[in-house]
Amino acid sequence: MADVTLAALVLVFVAGLITALATGLGAFPFFVLDEVSDRLNVVLWGLASGIMLAASLFGLVREGLAEADRGPQLFSLGTYSGEVAVVVGLLAGVLLVVVAHEVVEGAEVNPRQYEEADFRKLVLILGILTVHSFPEGVAIGVSFADLNIEGMTLLGFTVPLLAVFMTVAISIHNIPEGVAISIPLRTMGVSNWKMVWWAVFSSLPQPIGAVLAFYFVRLARAFLPVGFGFAAGAMIYLVLTEFVPEALEEGAGLPGNGYRELVAGIVVGVAVMVPLAFI
């Protein structure tokens, strides 16, 4: 059983909090602009999609397979035990998002009602936010699994390079999400700083998910390949079922229905993050 100190939990929580705070940056364009163009929105969604796909495939899945090769085996299936563990995790991640969406399907939440929400509405709001943000927090948590084992020295800790990569990737990805959250708030006349707050609030499940995932994989190392696959499966599914459709909806009125802008954003996102994954 690995030692999990309070300092380690605080570090992981802070990493998740950094990604949540990055969501608030998405509201800052509205401090100087009345609106963000559809073209830029599509590019930003494409950029977020490319970043998350690269982080999932070249960060989480690759590390999950490597961990399966060098760590204890959860499944006794010979040569393919590691691959099976990662695939099981991928499917579990997809299943979580599907089930969570079914639970909150059809729920319409008006951001202006946040401050007057009763208990039921608050539970609903938090449920919706968790569906989108919790898997990203899990990705951060599992990426810290080798804390103080291998990596680079930072603030007195030996931090895995994968953890730095995932924290940067999810932080960058959260900025377009902050823009998307701020757009309807802007049309409702919500003040600039309140838009920042609600953007950050939408990602608060991330530091919580990060701590829970980190604690679990440190205590149950054999589940780490499944954990990597779980985080990757949830994020890939969110990209394919939410980010890409959202981008195409935003780009419906553009020449080519926004496909060029979407593809350009994805290519740039992948191109930026892939080199970081192999440092």
Residue 236 lies in a domain: yes
pLDDT score at 112: 47
pLDDT: is 72 or 17 the higher one?
A: 17
Residue 245 lies in a domain: yes
> Which residue range forms the structural domain that includes residue 257?
6-99+131-277
Work out the percent of the chain whose per-residue pLDDT is above 90: 17
Residue 118 lies in a domain: no
Question: Where does the pLDDT of residue 1 fall: very low under 50, low under 70, confident under 90, or very high at 90 and above?
Answer: very low
Average pLDDT over residues 249-255: 87
Three-state DSSP at 150 gives: coil
Q: Which of 231, 272, 222 is nearest to 137 (CA)?
A: 231
Question: Where does the pLDDT of residue 127 fall: very low under 50, low under 70, confident under 90, or very high at 90 and above?
Answer: low
* pLDDT value at 122 more than 80: no
How many residues make up the chain in this entry?
279
Residue 164 lies in a domain: yes
Quote the crossing angle between the two packed helices 224-238 and 62-70, to the nearest 10°. Answer: 170
Q: Which of 274, 270, 278 is nearest to 49 (CA)?
A: 270
Residue 215 lies in a domain: yes
**Gyration radius from the chain CA atoms:** 19
Question: Where does the pLDDT of residue 121 fall: very low under 50, low under 70, confident under 90, or very high at 90 and above?
Answer: low
Average pLDDT over residues 29-42: 83
**Count of CB atoms situated within 10 Å of the CB of 113:** 12
Quick one: which H or E segment has residue 232?
A: helix 224-238
Instruction: Provide the CA 123 distance to its chain's centre, in angstroms.
Output: 21
Question: Where does the pLDDT of residue 48 fall: very low under 50, low under 70, confident under 90, or very high at 90 and above?
Answer: confident
Work out the percent of the chain whose per-residue pLDDT is above 70: 81
Q: Which of 13, 11, 7, 5 is nearest to 212 (CA)?
A: 13
Q: Cα(104)–Cα(100) distance, rounded to whole angstroms?
A: 6
What residues does 137 pair with on adjacent strands? none
Question: Where does the pLDDT of residue 167 fall: very low under 50, low under 70, confident under 90, or very high at 90 and above?
Answer: very high
CB within 8 Å of 152: residues ≥ 6 apart: 158, 159, 161, 164
As for how many domains the chain has, the answer is 1
Residue 258 lies in a domain: yes
Q: Cα(277)–Cα(143) distance, rounded to whole angstroms?
A: 12
Q: 30-44 burial by CB neighbour count: b if 16+ within 10 A, else e? A: beeeeebebbbbbbb
Q: What is the pTM of this model?
A: 0.78
